[in-house]
Every structure is written in C-alpha cells, then in structure tokens.
Structure 1
C-alpha cells in the first residue's frame, strides 16, 4: 500500500487528533525536505508558516471537529522552499474500530501553476472583454448553424438584450426574419468560402436606415466552422457622404440638379440610346428678359423668381426626368423613354404653366420662357451633337418672338 501511495503523483498524509503527522508518502518527504522519520509525530508548524497557511488550519478543524470530508483549495507557505503554493485537497476523517474519530487522511495535488494559468486566462479574458466592449464596433461570433457564440456589449445594447440572453440563440430567433436573412447572406459566404469578407450592410429598423461596414473572419472552433464579425456603424458617415454627393450634384440656389450632374446623366443616357435605341427627348429653356427683372427689382427678387419657377416646373415632371439649372437663367430637362411628340407636350405644358403663373409673392411678376426641343438621333456621334442642336433650337425660339417652343431634329 505504501508503494502505491508513493507512486500516485499526489501528496498523501495522515494526522492524529492533535494534528501530528502519522503518515507521509515520498512526495511529502521531498516537499518538506526531510525524511519520514523527521515528519512523523510533528505538527504543521514545523513545515508551514501557519500565519500564511490559515486555510489548511481551518480545513483540518472542520474535518476533526465536524467529522466531515472537505474538498477545497489551500494556499500554504512551505518553509523548505520558501514558496506560497496552492493545493487542491481532499481531507477525510479517520475512525477506529469503534467508529471513534482518531484523525484525518488527506490527498493533495499542487495546482499552483494551474491556478496561475487560470488566473492569467481570466485576466486576459477580462482585459479582452473590456477592450471588445469599448471598441467602436459591434463584435460577435456565430457558428455555421447561425448560433451566437459571443457578443460584446454594443451588440447586446443594439438588440436590447443581455448578452447571456443572446449567446446560444440563433440569429433568426432574435432578429426580424428580413434582418436575419440579410446578415446571413454574407455570413454564409464567409463560412463556405473560408475567406475574410469586407462588406457594407444596411438595416432598416423602425423606419430608420442604419449602415454598417463589416469585416467577417472565418474561424474553426471545436471542429465547427464559425465566424467572427466586426461591424462599425457608419450611418453618420454615410449620411455625410450622401450629403456631399447631393451638394456636388445640386444647384445651390434652386435645389435642382446642376450643370455638372446633368451632363454626366446625359452622357449615360446617350450611351444607353446607342446600345438600345431608347427614345430620349431634350429641351432647354431661358427666362425671357430676365435681366430686366434683376435690373428693376434687384438680384434677391430675381433669385426668388428662379426658385419659384423651378418649383412649378418640377411638379410637371416625372421622377426619372432630369431637371437642371445649366446657366444663370437657363434650364435643361432630359426626358428618358420619351418620343418627340410626348416631349413636345411636356415643353408646351411647361411654357403654358409658366405663362399663367405669378412669381415672387407681392411683386406679382409674370414670366415667359423660350424653349428649344430636340431628340437623340442615330446620326449623332456624341451627346455634344444633341446639346449643340437643342441650343440652336432655343436660339431660334428667341428669334421667333420668345414664349414659344422650337423643335430641331
């Protein structure tokens, strides 16, 4: 039996009711740095600094006085090595033939390194958690079954749930069906292709649109394909980008498109026309004698006239029509999928509506416009040909007495 105890890889010992050692195996002998004969009959104070080994003393008392087994961890200061060591111990009472307690038997494993590593892992886990909870990103982990394995506090706040309520759940059980499927499109691609994916994702929640820039990284956990996602809310940046784009394409005074945007869209329309032979109408118009309005009423009134004019004309057009201010008082309208007959009707409607309207509030200013009209032709080599032709049509309308529509093909 003694040989078995010496080869178990654990510290095995026994004590009497006074806490004196009655047995110690080879490992205890090595730990204390003395022979078994020097251990037997002596108490713990010979081998441990009891002021730094209180757990050991308390556990012995529990076993000897309460006659109960104790399973615990003890932190003890060993005199021989001058070290604080941690042991996982099991201490049980010993009884004689008359069932009277006569001492205790114990088995201990040194778990100092294990505990140090556990604490180190826990510290690193806490540190990582602090970092992930404070980065400006929603961080999450999902497996191939769409089950959440981890979420940081930003994800929990976004979902309005505690992280413990999310982990272990499938995304379709937490998110709306539409949102869950939207995210799953890119998630499944990452897991199937096993490649990092960077993607822009858009989610609509309570009629609000949110934009995320996501990086999704494939990983394998316990043999199961998974992914780690980092999603940054770029909604405000997206709005700014859209606003910059709008400002770049918009006329400051009237709020309609500017010359730059108009020419860009016109070139696109011309390319489609050449490929598909789509009918496209183009008209430009000038406010007749606008200089007289500026001279008589001043430029602020002239600006208000242009603003009122564009508001009236915009109401006459379709969503797909491109209406732009291309000069001081000169405007252009691109009419996709519109034959020349329909384009002429639009031009006449614009002319009549402007003629019948009063502008600039109390000033009651009446306006007329001269309109040039043309259509894209197979003979044109570029949009410049079309634009030059409609410009000539506008010039002819002015020469013809103004307040009229002139067509050139």
Structure 2
C-alpha cells in the first residue's frame, strides 16, 4: 500500500510501524474498507495483501453480528479511550474459524475528524487448547477416582459436590440421581431421606439430619458409622482439604458390624462370622498366645488354623511392627480399646496398610482376660488418599506452570498459599513466604492501595484493578489483580484469593506505540523536539536511565543527543567506535540486546571495562538510505527480565522515526539556508555588499512605523560621492567600482550595528542613524565625511575622494518615509550647491525649503 492511499491526516509509515508486529494489524477507512494489512495478518488469514485491500473487513469475521458490533464506535475523538477489546471468532481464507482477542479503535486526524479504524487481532486458539488440556486432566483425575474400590466423594468449601466415584453412587442408590456436581451435601442427604434410604435410629428426620451435618462439618478424620435402611453399615472417614472442602471415604462395614453383633451373642457365632469378614480376627490371651483366628488371618499369616493357634502370633510380624504397636497392646490389656493404622509386611508376602482395633475382652469380674485384634485392609483407602494428595500436588504444579501469580491470604494478611511465580516477585520461595505477611514488603503507596482493595474484598466483593509498583525482586511491574473472597462452610469470609497477571510489557508496548504515534504525527513539535521526546520515550519504555543518539563518521562515534538523569552524558563527547557497544550494533546491522554484560560473551569489551554498563539495547539509524549512527539505551544494572522480540522491534521503530526526523530536519535546514542566501542576494547590493534600494526602503518604512509607536527618533542621511561621473569617464568603470567599494567599506566601518546603511542610486548612499537627533547625527556624519576624505584613496586617482552629505531628522507629522528622504535630498542638494565636501542638515524652522549647515 502506498503512502498516498492513506486518509488525510495520517502521517505514518505503516510498514515500519506495524509490518514486523506478531499481531494482525488491519487499517480501514471509515466505511471499513481495508487500506492496509501487515505481514502477520496475511499469514494468519491466508490472504495476499492485494486480495484484502479495498474489501470490507467483514470477510475476516465468522459472525456478521461481531463485525457490526466492532464497528459500533463513537465518532467523537473524546470517546476513543473506551474499552474496544473483544474476544470473538474470525475466519481464515480456507474457511477455518479461530478465536482471537481483538482491539478495534477509531482513528482521528489532527482536526479531530474520523478517518478510519485500526483493527488489531491476536490468535488465542493455542490458549484455548491449553484450557482444554486442563479440562482433560480433570477428566483423567475423575477416572482415577472411579478406580477406587471404596465410595469416594469430594465437596468444595461451599459444601457442593465436586466429584464422586461410581461406588459412592452404588452405596447410596436411592439418592444417586441427585449426586451431580454443584449439588449441596445437605440436598443429597434430603433426597435420601425422602426415599427412606437411612435407618434413623428412632430420631426424627430433622434430628437425624442435624446430627449428620454436624459430624460432616467437623470432618476431623474420625470414623463415623452410618446404618442404612436396608441394614447395611458404612464406615465414613471425612477430612478437610487445604482448600476448605471435604473429602470422604465410605467403606461398607456391614460384615464387621454383623460380626461384632454375633460375637456378643456367642463365641461360636463369632468364629463363624469372622470367617466371612474381609478383616483378620485374632484373639490372644495376656501371654500373647493366639486362641482364635479366622480364615483371613490364616491366609495373611500363611498358616493353617491349627498352626496358628497356640503361637505367639505377634512374633510372626516384623520387629518394627511389634515395637510400634506395643503401646496400643498395653493400653488394650489395661481395659481401653485402641485403634491405629500402620503398614505391615505380612508373612504371605503382601504389604498391607491396615486399620488395627484392639478390643479388650472382659470377664465377669471386669478383668481383661484377652483381646480381639481386628485388622482391616485399608490399602485402597490409603491409595485414594494418596491419589487425592497427588491430585493436589498436580494442581500445585499446574498453578506453578501458569504465568500469573496466585496467592491465598487469611483475614490478617497471612499467606496460606502462593505459587512459584508469585513467590519470585517477592524475592522468595513458596515455603519461605507461607505464614508471612509478604505484602508488607511492597512500597507504602502500593500497600495503602492494596489495603483498601482487600477491605472491599473482605466485605464480600470480587475486586479487579491495575496497579504499577516495584516488587521486592527489584522489578517494576504493571499487574492486573483480581481479589476473590474465600468463604467457609458457614458462609463466613475467611480470607481471599488473589490472581495477579503481569501486563507490564503489553501495557508498556501499547502505551509506547501510542505515544510514538502521538509524537511523530503532531505538527506542533519541531524535528529536534520529536527526536528528544523519542529518546526520552525509549528510556521510559525500556526502564533504562541512559539514552544516546550517535553520529558515526570514519569510525568516530560522537554523541549528538543524550538523555540521562543527572546529565552524566554530554552532547559532543566522542569515542572510537571500537570502544563502544555500538560497534556490535553496526556489525550486526540490526538490533543488539544484552541483559547482563558481565555474563555475556562481550564481558571483555572495552566499553564494559570503561563504564561498567551491564544492560544495552541498540540499533543502527539510517538517514535517507545512508548509515548515520545508532540509537541505544543502557544501564549500569543487569536486567532482571530479558529483552523480548517486541523490544527489538520497538527500538527498530525508534531508529526508523529518528532517522526520518533527522532527514526531514536536514532537508528543512537546507531549505532555510537556501532561503537565507536568496534573501541576502535579493536584499544586498552586489558591488558594495550593503542593502540595495528596495531592502533599504523596506527597513526605512519599518523604522518610521516604530517611531510612530515608540517615539524612538532617527535621522536620515543622504550621501553622494563628489565628481563620481568624471571618475568613471576618466578612469573607467572598474576604478569607479573600486571607489564605490572603498567608500562603502569606510562608511560601514564607521556605523553601529543598529544603524541602517544602503546604496540607493549609482553613487548615492543613505543612512538611518538610530536614536539620533539632528545635532548628534550631524557630528557623526561630519566624522564620516572627514574619514572619507582622509582614507578613501584608490589607485591611480591622484586626488582624494570626497562626498556631500544631507541630513533630516524624523518629525511627529511624518507619515511616509519619502517625505523624510525628500528633506534629506534637499539638504544634500544644498551641500553640493555650497561647494561639495560638506554636511548640511535640514533646518527645523518653518521654512522647510531652506536647509542650513
């Protein structure tokens, strides 16, 4: 697209401004017909530029409604700051649809007239794919939960169902239909109550429900036994998750409960029942001798019942297990039931995680004569718990893989959780920051703003804001923060979750491009001012203190413009190009960016040895197609965040615009110099170098106008070289010209800079003596006349050159300079009449035709 096809008022090299951007850029007229597309737009949409130019940009939209919505912009320039950012579907040439984040903005010229639209789009399809992968990971987690052999359910901090496995639904078939994600635990209980699922044990429904909810909300990991209406018994273990939710395991313990019941009825029934249980049942006397063992126990200990009975069965277990369980054994023989869990390698070669219960058997004299040990294999439950921990660990990994900072703090501001990105901003690790009030390390101004937002969030509001501040790691960031309140099971706010996204580069790039366009498109700034503002803008964008524009001639690097906080860099400083980092830039013929010079391959560079500048980014400047120098930005501190490709493109744009402004400045200076030369030629007498008649009369008119305003007097002096015609006739025009030149040089040398001197005729000259009355002017002209007579000698003339002089001071009634000139001319005529070589001033008496000496 040619520059001429741009709407009036847009002064921009589109290819230099947008050509290298990775975002799609489309410039349209007010009727939304396409004027320009950058390379990224052609590549993304699959069109050649000539296919798009002239078309409406509707062909890029999947939905016509989106096209119309993005065009609904206010035509007033004052409204262009409103949010015009959209997420919508666009369409490639091949018909494929993709999702993009779009910014659409109206463009106005210097007269605030609407001249078009700027359309910027970024393909976020990959981002959506990542989100889909996260969803798939959640499904995988759900599959893993379904593999658990016990009933498992996870409820969130609001007590709403997050996920449950199929076994959980099978355990509660009557309420299974209500077990959908998002359903409250209480509602699921009520569904079962309505269908008679539970044995209420003589309680009313409300009493039973209240008791069950109380135990559920306690969720301290202790076992809860629950009887169902069909006679089944469940062992329920519920525990709080770190996020405030509740995870629970339901184990069908009906066989165990039946066994206990039958044990109380008769020992024979206990033996018969024990053999049906999935747990080991062993009874030992006070000496540790096995007096009862069920089939499961025999299987685990790899012995027949006959082999097991009569042995000290505990001695068949590893010594470490004997030692760790001894205290529980002693407690049970003292009359107190004991329950504990531990992993055991059994003689059958299997390692099981078991829940052991030691139940003392008390005789009629209330003495413990033996105890029954019941070991239940809870390996699957433990595996489910481990899987749950692994899921939490995976969630933590996911949080750490995000590019944003995530943290949870309580009402006092104490950190409960923070991911690795967030911890790095505060100069620590998650382990170091959990338990601390890490936000107190922010600057006071940021803390104050943060306190107000936290208070608003703790009042129950989700708050979003943008904030720019310097973090403890030393980096200044612009962050987009969302504060979300965290509620407990009672609906009370216990803290808040913060999601902080670093938008520094995006905001800085957007602001820099907008400011660059503002600087380069205005007509109110000179070329010099634009260049200086671009240099300052570069320091601000890269957050570097020093900015330099250099001019390089014959390997000599000279600072022509500089930006520094304390004027450390002087314009005019010069160095050999090899002693500057810009030698790298010139050799690369493009942008060079170094984050930490000390650890780079250029640590031995002479510039580093002299100035210890750690950070550098620079690129060549080209003026009218010829190398001019460089633009570069530096700092003595290493850069925390490395330079991006966008940074390299930004400095390239800076260089392009600086080169453009330098070229235009040189053009303007050349034009001005030519104008001055032309003005000098048109106003100067070629022979004598003094003002010619036209220029002199222009100045005289100006002086008269000033006199009429300020009453600042002046005197007009007419001078004529005596007998000049005879000199020309006798000696020729060459000698005559020499006389005129000599005469003019002497007069010029005798005048002040404020006086005006010009040649108004062949041998006639005129002077305006500034701030001089008639008497003072007469003395001045008399001195000049005598000096002419003494010094104006030109070979081969044998006699001295003389002149006649007539003077006339300005008067209040003078309106035209010709009036004054006429009086001075009359005085000159009088001087000639009286014999020449004299000065005559026009009389101030009423008779103006009688000039006097």
Normalising by structure 1, what TM-score? 0.49
Normalising by structure 2, what TM-score? 0.25
Which has the bigger relative contact order, CA under 8 A and spacing at least 6?
A: 1
Q: Which has the larger radius of gyration?
A: 2
